[in-house]
Structure 1
Amino acid sequence: PDSGRAEGCDLQPVTAEPPITLSYATSTVPRGCVSNSSMGTDHEVHVLSVKWSKVSLVPLTVTVTPGADACSQPAVLILLCSRCFATITSPCSNLIIRSDAHLIPDSTIRVPNPEPPIVSSEEQLLAWALATYGGITSYSELQAPRRLQLHLGEDAHSPPECTPQENFNAILHLEAEVFFHGVKSCSRSDAQSTRAAHIIHLQSEPSSSITGVNLSLSCSQNSAGNQILILQSKANFTWFLSAECNIQLLVSGSYKMPLFSMLIPGNPLPDTEQGLIAEAFEKNYSVIASYSALPASTHISLQIHEHEVAETPVSTTPMDITQPPDLPHQVLRTLKPWKCTDETMEIVIIRSYLEPIKDVVNITLRDIRCQAEKNATHFMLKSPLSHCGTSLEGRGYANNELILSLAKDAVLRSVRVGFQCEIPRELFLRLFPTADFKAPQTELEINKEAFVQASMRWMDHPADLQLKECWLVASEREPVLLVQGGEARGAGVAVLEGPPSSHGRKVWRFRFTYSIPEGGHIPFSAFLRCKAGLQNDTIFEKVLEVRVKDAWRPLNYRGLGLGAVLGITFGAFLIGALLTAVLWYIYSHTPGFQHGASLGEQQHQPQHWQHPEHPLLHQQHGLTPPGPPEPAQPPANGLGEPAQRH
């Protein structure tokens, strides 16, 4: 998409109640350090300083897990979280806790412990811990955590002093799930739709070893209608989705759902803020309800709250049906097997992907006369956008339903899955052999009229669209300008009247004849290149490759040359002469042939039996080979049978 389309949408921090609750797993803390200064003392000491921008109503869960020594040495946890409720659990009963948090009864540590002193700075806190316990094992400052898991244990290779560092990697002793409070939002200034997009932009460092993330997604009961979730990451990243809501998805990299054993390829997405906003606008989501740029993480939790939708004219074919999502809906919404051009809708479903549903015997569109063809591997259906009950009332979308017929235990039932098929905002090119513009092809015949149709949908201002130019480009030949500024250019080109605009669709048509001089080079293929655009220089370009066919010279430049023809002729003559010689040799050495006698004379001469009987004949009958045969006598009956032996 054109990132310029994001203009007019200036992302701003969400100051009111955010539309989402977002948290992610990380071991990188804003400030932290480790040291071996606690080794040789009575305790290992871990200091957690939790900061909140406001009082949290969500309890902080802290889990303390023992190290290799299995709780043999007492450990001290210093938790500063004056504005939060906390639950602390640990199998180590000798864990000493000093905290100013409000501990709730679910904690397994119930022994009252003294609160840490009131300190005003990080330096004072660390100095007090060092003076009180003789050393510090780890220190971590956290911002708005949801869960913390602290791993006990000391490392002799740690530095001797705990000196806090920015963006410290505390992976050896701490795993945290923190709330994200950097959500931003915006909307188009000319927005007429309440369709909202949620964007998560996962920003991975080149050195990051994280290649996949588990995303837990949940929605309020009425939150997912007219909303889309866009997940952007690096190309070789995998999203493992656990979704409890019915929402459109647009994912980069690849992703996997619990219903499927295979990875589903995603879509290439821009990696910039403006590019992702433009992507949402391109798909007619004019409200960016939330934009969140997260660091690389192995787990993300997202809850989408109820989306306030203003009253707008309701389409007769809504995108989401109102019934709660079930298995067929989840499968088809994940597969998204529909694909639209500016004039057709195509459904292709691999049958093995429907295995979770079971018993699918037939699939139709809303008009049940539009039935999918099926073979051993696929369900396939293609129809014009003007047929099969398809509605074009949405901006840039075609609305319909897939009706699945399920047969189980001789009972047939139907499941309806409403969907919206996005009509790409791009230029389409089609080549036709006749003026009825009915059967497109990709074959261009020389010296014969060809008919071209360029079309696209532009819901905003279709009348402003113009066909800028069209060229025919072939190798070893000069490019041919066919149309420019809506007017014909060159010989044999004529602009034709197209059908009237409908639902924002603009159509241009023209015909031309591709001529090549006698003896000229005939290319194997050519490229039809057209551009359409607006008056503000927004350009859409399309290239259609066609195969060039010459009906008048079918053997030209690919046929047999004169040398090849002469070679074949001489070879045929030589083979014929050799065959004649071989036949004459065989005939001249045939027994009974008498040199100097004519054929008629030989026919009237008595034939003599000159061949000895083959020994194999006697062996087959249990006889021994005889001696030299006696001369055969002429047959008495003239039928050519040998004389009987005595």
Structure 2
Amino acid sequence: MEKMQCLAAFLLATSAAFTRASPVNVPECTLEPLTKDHGVKVFYTTSRVANGCTSQGPTDPSLEVHLLFLRFSSPSELFSLQINVSASAEKANRRSMFVVSSNAYVHLTVNTEGCHLTFITTTRCMVQGANIETQQTNLSSSSEELLQQTKKDHGGISSFAELENPRQIHFHLDGEPSSNQDCVPEKNFNADPYLEFEVASDNVKGCPSSSGNPQKEAHIVWLQQDPQGSSPQSVDLNIEQNCDEGEPENQLPTLLVLKSHTGVTWNIGQMFDSLKFLVSGKYTMKKFGAVQMPGVDLPDSKEGLLAESRSKEFAFVASYTEITSAKSITLKLERVCGRQATPVTEKPQMEGVSLESFMQGLITTWKPWRCLDSGIEITLAKDYLRQALFENVTKVTDVTLQDRSCKATDNNTHFILRSKLRECSTYLERDVVVKNQLVFSLHLLPGEIMVPFECDLPEKVFLQLYPSPDFGSEPTTVVEVNKATYVQVQFRTTDLRAQLQIEDCSLQTADKTSSQLLIGGGKPLSYSATFLDSPSSTISRFSFVYKSGEEQWAASPATLLCKLHLHSQLHGDHYNETSLEMTFKTSSTPSHSLGIGTVLGITFGAFLIGVLLTAALWYIYSHTHIPGPMAKMQPVAENPPASESSSTNHSIGSTQSTPCSTSSMA
């Protein structure tokens, strides 16, 4: 009840002020664009973009790709822009990619609220924030060409929005995919509910040169958005009076004219005593609760609104702003403020940031480097360096890495520096984090400015063979037949909690006759395959023995093909295939077991040797035997008679034909 009484008293005072007004002798108002010196700024948030569309997204259902094209009315300036990205718990692990292009140099600060994002930008955009991966590339300066290129690169996109003069962007990843087959841009597209952004209006006008009564001022805001069916629309309106010091000396009588269609409810925030207002549609005042009050009918033209202000004796229109669509509007007024009676002491000057600290912050935020397996690529736009370093003070004359012999080339527009990994004093941490530092030489300044930097190599899977179980020797691509070969599969990633699991591995020969399935379903399937202890969750090791077929020692060449299950924070769960070309060679060490072919060979050789030996013995026997019947053997008496003995001796002696025998007989 008390609030209603206060509200009634306020409305009575407001209406009384208007009934006393007289339109006579009020000068005309000629609108002119306002500059920042006039002390009036208008900001608003909206979901209406200059051009935009949505579609079902890329061919990969686990990926979202959102394209943002930023257009600024002053492309030669450097802008700071904040992007807030939110997602529900069930969608926080979804892969989300933002492709951002701009016609001006932009410093993007990203707040991710726990979700991991990838930003692909031009060299004009610098991205800073936690849990994000950034890539810089050449993107088209045409929004239409950029849209087509992004569709081609990713097999479609989830959303596209062209934003004019944004100051802050809020992006919600909780929306369901669109049913549109293709993303076809529409002008004045409504990106609600997944996107809204804050804009500093560049269409603020006023009539400062025709101020008839500078002790009074009017501010007119015409919200021109169309009614959205029967759904109610509400707009928050806030007024801020800013003073560098103290409080405003006098509260100027101020008239606020809020024009919209009748379906809009204005929620008016901060108030001050000398404020009067005219509102179309309905309105509430936060200081009096949620009580809705009816508005008044206001003209549907610029001239009519100016005349309405003059009729209330507010001929000095300090600002007139037309806004296409808005969810909230903030009117900031710079006032002449009173000084306190205390003696004024000289304001201490703020301690300046050193040039070295400034350069380190500038380059670290910019991140102009890119790390690949082929090496480091660094691209520095000279225009941006000139603007950031204030061209009238100093400029960059030379850029090198920590090894001063690794010097950037100057092509008049950019400093470009390329080097291989592990060169130019580059250090690799865990074989994935690349570390070095940029060294800048500045015109007319002594010494150098060093900016340490690091970047991550892209996630990659390595499949390698080793000849020994300690995995300490150099990798090989040669497999010795009938001997153990040791295999290591490594998942290179910065995620220390990533995991790798081998699902299937097979050894495939060129003729397909000796292929072996080594691992299937995460388990060894071949008697010769064995899992080994692995040093981390991103490395898996096993061994196998290749046994040749019965008719051959080995087939050459061959391929080891493995299917892997990978998990990381960057890409979530996904599968990957990797392969390695190899050749076989016969082991130089005799095998402990002989194949059937070997056994048959040895048997046949022994048989052949036996046949040849038998034939040789028969040949010798047949050529050395004396022909005729064999002499009959006579029994030998123990004591033969003397006559027989001499007869026998004579017989034997007569048969000897050798000289020795003849000599003996004589």
User: Same-fold call, TM > 0.5?
Assistant: no
Quick check: which one's helix share is greater? 2
TM-score scaled by length of structure 2: 0.42
Structure of higher CA gyration radius: 2
